[in-house]
Amino acid sequence: MAERSFAREVEDLRLGDGDTFRGEGILAITKALLQSGVSYVGGYPGSPISHLIDVLGDAKDVLDELGVVFQSSANEAAAAAMLSASVMYPLRGAVAWKSTVGTNVASDALANLASGGVTGGAMIIVGEDYGEGSSIMQERTHAFAMKSQIWLLDPRPDHECIVNMIEKGFELSEASNTPVMLEVRVRACHMHGYFKTKDNVRPSFTIKDALENPVRDLGRIVLPPAAYEHEREKIAKRFPAAIEFVKRHKLNEFIGPQDAKVGIVLQGGMYNNVIRALQYLGLSDAYGRTQVPLYVMNVTYPVIEDELETFCRDKDHVIVVEEGQPEYIEQAVNTALRRRKISARVRGKDILPMAGDYTSQVLLNGLRRFIEESEPRLLGNRPPAPDPSPVLALAEVQKLKQTVPERPPGLCTGCPERPVFAAMKLVEQELGLHHVSADIGCHLFSILPPFNIGATTMGFGLGPASASAFNVKAGKRSIAVMGDGGFWHNGLTSGIGNAVFNKHDGVFLIIDNFYTSATGGQDILSSRAKNPRRTTNNSIVKAVKGIGAKWVRQLDRTYDVGRLRDTLKEALTTKEEGPKIIVASSECMLNKQRRVRPQIDGAIRNGARVVKERFGVDEDVCTGDHACMRLSGCPSLSVKQLDDPLRDDPVASIDHTCVGCGNCGEVADAAVLCPSFFRADVVHNPNAFDLWRQRMTQRFIGWLQARRERQGAAA
């Protein structure tokens, strides 16, 4: 099950001409695709566009009515390869994924697509996951767009602008026979707004039409000598056609008075933050009525030199606002102006940071310095701009930074992956350290405390491949960790298949939690639930055995820490050679709670008898050793200070967020720690037998307490 259902919201996708759409950016993007007459859509989930895939999945009825084909792709490469349908046929197609990691995976297909070019409009919607809150390496899509000559759209964060850029993006693709990328940042994906809708458009040429009328054009297939001609075509035909289209349809915007001596050239995606910074400087209002001229590049590649000349011709200074490094756009602006003998001085990364988020505060500081140095009279009298530095410099704040630890991401309460790493730590205590190759996914949090497991991570599903260099006969074996999502993404072939082929004598741990949990809980091939639109319940064990793996163990309850520990130890010490594969399976607790909690709450409201498990710690038994936390790290497991003057150390405590997974007790038992953990059954809507048993239990406990008091008095 996905993280969120859009069953109600997708009804807004049926809005017609003149209606007003109100909602989230992701839904606006979907509506724009349907208004553009798209024939097929695919993609792979990942922040910040995971919900786009979820919306398309929930909108199956709407898509079916229009004859639109949707596929939730196995990975980004599979999604990119879908766009080949637009190479020979006038089919409009769109795919989506998280960039830049998704673009890296899809690069082979994209490079071939861009070389041969397209007949129908082909659009790649990428979630530009850049900045402090990102979960990936800090790179930009811009480099790939330039490398393969794919036009890059970076629309102003406004629903109407984004919708218009999607519609025009398909036309641009067709006019220049070139695929188009459209990047949207996290805030744009999840912002709420409105726009006037149009009728959805059924594709004028369908997938069925293509199948019934096959076309083959050798000139669009990437083989010599056509590949060389593709390069010539890019420069001689496609590039000029794209520039002419962008200019004619005015995709870039000139905003504000154009007669000032200074100006700002900015990526469309930076518009809102630039306006907010200018507002703080007294040079704009919140609605974008700016006193400083803006050249908003909703198309960041190709750079339109004629427009730059028009904007900069009468200006003495311009600043380029370009988030991330290197300064591709700034270099292009400098080159264009020097070629045309425009003397305006170009500022940018000499004032603004080379890398990192361009927040309103960052832009405020940079733009203030730019205007003070180039046109200070613009500033005049203005309200004081917000400045957090005095507060941050306070002694109590500095002390707080030292005493409050950082809060890195971690596994959820009750996560079934937590006991896997607890078992690995127990084996480590017995057999010593082993090289561990980690992988992308929730399990990557194991590299952080309290587990501190994992030396490298090289890409989604590449955990086993990351250990391939360690295939040597030595005293210790390497360990590679991979999730079920990564396994089906590409780990089956690049990891397990590669290990089988090369007789890799290592241990490969596949953590199966039934979903691609890290991207929002979407179903995959091995999901245990029945999905009416997908084929699920495909066994990982059968898959690895099918490509030749011999030593395979399936553990269907990861909370059994003792069994996990013993299986890992066996894999690391057995004399049998070749890959040792352990598949550890338990349902993602977050997804399980999303499914089960409404059912339980409904049953309780309806008066049904419901038993909920809770775990606790006996304060009289707990010694305050806290080893349970060092081997668990569960967010619900904390410490509690007792009022007893004879007990100095705080004891372990389990708070109300406990989901009753039992991991803490299992870890304590497997590690032979202490018997302080107990399980309690909380009965809702008890029946007559429950009430009678409770009375009997209370009487018996009361008798035991009285007996103990009598014995104490006698002593």
What's the rounded Cα separation, in Å, for the pair 2 and 102?
A: 20
CB 654 within 8 A of CB 617: yes
Q: Tokens at residue 183, please?
A: 């990047």
- Tell me the C-alpha to C-alpha distance, in Å, between residue 652 and each of 63, 617, 618, 626: 53, 7, 9, 6
Q: Which residues, 6 or more positions from 683, have their beta carbon under 8 angstroms from its beta carbon?
A: 609, 610, 611, 690
Provide the phi-psi class of 141: left if phi over 0, else alpha when psi is between -120 and 50, else beta: alpha
What's the rounded Cα separation, in Å, for the pair 500 and 679?
A: 43
What's the rounded Cα separation, in Å, for the pair 485 and 540?
A: 11
Q: What is the pTM for the complete model shown?
A: 0.86
Cross-strand partners of 296: 253, 266
Q: Tokens at residue 693, please?
A: 């048993």
Residue 226: how many CB atoms within 10 A of its CB? 16
CA 304 to chain centre: 32
Q: Taking the C-alpha atoms of 436, 439, 444 and 448 in order, what is their torsion angle to the nearest 10 degrees?
A: 40
What's the rounded Cα separation, in Å, for the pair 239 and 274?
A: 30
- Measured in Å, how far apart are the chain's first and last C-alpha atoms? 62
Q: What is the pLDDT of residue 51?
A: 82
Domains defined along the chain, listed by start: 13-248 (3.40.50.970), 253-389 (3.40.50.920), 418-591 (3.40.50.970), 609-684 (3.30.70)
What's the rounded Cα separation, in Å, for the pair 483 and 464?
A: 11
Q: Tokens at residue 76, please?
A: 């980004």
Query: What are φ and ψ of residue 72, in 5° steps?
Result: -85, 105
Q: Which residues, 6 or more positions from 670, have their beta carbon under 8 angstroms from its beta carbon?
A: 422, 423, 426, 561, 562, 565
Helix (H), strand (E) at residue 246: helix 239-248
Q: Tokens at residue 706, please?
A: 């009285």
Would the CA dihedral through 563, 565, 571, 574 be positive or negative?
Answer: negative
Q: What is the pLDDT of residues 92-111, one digit of tens each?
A: 999 999 888 889 899 999 99
CB 511 within 8 A of CB 483: yes
CB 536 within 8 A of CB 528: yes
What's the rounded Cα separation, in Å, for the pair 482 and 331?
A: 41
Q: Which residues of the chain have pLDDT under 70?
A: 1-5, 404-407, 662, 664-674, 715
Q: What is the pLDDT of residue 669?
A: 63
| Count of all residues that appear for the chain in the document | 715
What's the rounded Cα separation, in Å, for the pair 175 and 249?
A: 12
What's the rounded Cα separation, in Å, for the pair 622 and 641?
A: 12
Q: Tokens at residue 130, please?
A: 């850049």
- The 3 state secondary structure assigned to 555-610 is ECCCCCHHHHHHHHHHHHHCCCCCCEEEEEECCCHHHHHHHHHHHHHHHHHCCCCE
Lookup result for tokens 């609605």: 287
Q: Tokens at residue 13, please?
A: 């996708």
CB 230 within 8 A of CB 116: yes
Q: Which residues, 6 or more positions from 215, have their beta carbon under 8 angstroms from its beta carbon?
A: 88, 89
What's the rounded Cα separation, in Å, for the pair 380 and 496?
A: 66
Q: What is the pLDDT of residue 115?
A: 94
CA 127 to chain centre: 9
Q: What is the pLDDT of residue 525?
A: 84
Buried b (16+ CB within 10 A) or exposed e, 56-73: bbbbeebbeebebbbebb
- Give percent helix, percent strand, percent coil of the chain, each to the nearest 5: 45, 15, 40
What's the rounded Cα separation, in Å, for the pair 715 and 712?
A: 5
Q: Tokens at residue 635, please?
A: 């967010």
The helix/strand/coil state of 521 is coil
Closest listed residue to residue 161, CA positions, set 327, 299, 366: 299
Residue 689: how many CB atoms within 10 A of its CB? 9
CB 38 within 8 A of CB 203: yes
Provide the phi-psi class of 581: left if phi over 0, else alpha when psi is between -120 and 50, else beta: beta
CA 619 to chain centre: 41
Query: In one letter, which amino acid is 115?
Result: S
What's the rounded Cα separation, in Å, for the pair 18 and 199?
A: 8
Buried b (16+ CB within 10 A) or exposed e, 445-475: bbbeebbebbeebebbbbbbbbbbebbeeee
Alpha-helical regions (H) of 313-439: 328-339, 360-374, 389-392, 395-403, 418-431
Q: Tokens at residue 478, please?
A: 């390497």
Say which DSSP state 11 is in. Answer: G
Q: What is the pLDDT of residues 459-507, one digit of tens each?
A: 888 888 989 988 888 788 999 999 988 888 888 999 999 999 999 999 9
Buried b (16+ CB within 10 A) or exposed e, 518-547: bbbbbbbbbbeeeeeeeeeeeebbebbeee
What's the rounded Cα separation, in Å, for the pair 254 and 514?
A: 50
CA 140 to chain centre: 15
Q: Which residues, 6 or more positions from 330, have their beta carbon under 8 angstroms from its beta carbon?
A: 320, 322, 346, 348, 349
The helix/strand/coil state of 689 is helix
What's the rounded Cα separation, in Å, for the pair 351 and 319?
A: 9
